[in-house]
């Protein structure tokens, strides 16, 4: 009787494990196919604008997809503003030559979007106030810039409470 019970428990546990794995496998293609409802062209435009603003060619496409999705939720008329910002940067690349973003009063909306794009990449947060959406922490560029020297904040270096002692 004991062997039957153990065997039965193992079979049930195996069934649950397989069901969970199968469920994940079935959900993955569905999740990637829709890309959170973000068209690939929009992600490509976002990456093109981001590369110009950040001055980096290598940016994470998955993070870009998440940032676009969050931007569409947090920012009004994001798609239209992104199209205008892309066109503006193509027409006037000198706008990015200064040490700080300053597009002038005529392009205040495009400058605000550029600042939101930069904020999303560097802090992992899109929008502000009640509309802010937290997208990432570890993958934020601010953490990648210092990753060779610092462990991302909120990660423990040692045993609990070790951080309060002077090094």
d(CA 98, CA 89): 13
Q: What is the CA radius of gyration of the chain?
A: 23
DSSP single-letter state for residue 37: G
DSSP 8-state class, residue 133: E
Query: According to the model, what pLDDT value does residue 44 have?
Result: 96
Exposed, middle or buried: residue 119 (CB in 10 Å: 0-12, 13-18, 19+)? middle
Question: Structure pTM?
Answer: 0.69
Q: What count of residues does the chain have?
A: 167
Q: State the average pLDDT over residues 80-105.
A: 94
Residue 73 near residue 135 (C-beta atoms within 8 A): no
In the chain, domain spans: 1-37, 38-145
Question: What confidence tier does 153 reach under pLDDT thresholds 50, 70, 90?
Answer: low
99 φ, ψ (degrees, to nearest 5): -75, -25
CA distances (Å), 17 to each of 3, 6, 24, 28, 30, in order? 21, 16, 11, 17, 21
- Is the distance from CB of 139 to CB of 124 less than 8 angstroms? yes
Alpha-carbon distance of 95 to 127, in angstroms, equals: 23
Q: What is the pLDDT of residues 31-55, one digit of tens each?
A: 444 456 789 999 999 999 999 999 9
Distance of CA 115 to the CA centre of its chain: 15
Residues 137-148, mean pLDDT to the nearest whole number: 83
The answer to whether the CB of 132 falls within 8 A of the CB of 126 is yes
Whether the Cβ atoms of residue 122 and residue 60 lie closer than 8 Å to each other:
no
């Amino acid at each position: 009787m004991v062997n039957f019970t153990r065997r039965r428990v193992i079979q049930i546990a195996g069934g649950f494990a397989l069901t969970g794995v199968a469920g994940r496998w079935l959900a993955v293609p569905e999740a990637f196919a829709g890309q959170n409802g973000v068209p690939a062209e929009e992600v490509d435009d976002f990456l093109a604008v981001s590369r110009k603003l950040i001055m980096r060619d290598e940016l994470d496409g998955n993070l870009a997809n998440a940032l676009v999705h969050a931007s569409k939720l947090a920012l009004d008329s994001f798609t239209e503003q992104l199209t205008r910002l892309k066109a503006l940067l193509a027409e006037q690349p000198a706008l990015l030559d200064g040490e700080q973003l300053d597009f002038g009063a005529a392009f205040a909306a495009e400058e605000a979007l550029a600042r939101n794009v930069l904020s999303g990449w560097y802090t992992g947060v899109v929008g502000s106030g009640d509309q802010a959406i937290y997208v990432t922490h570890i993958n934020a560029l601010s953490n990648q810039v210092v990753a060779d020297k610092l462990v991302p904040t909120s990660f423990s270096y040692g045993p609990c409470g070790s951080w309060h002692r002077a090094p």
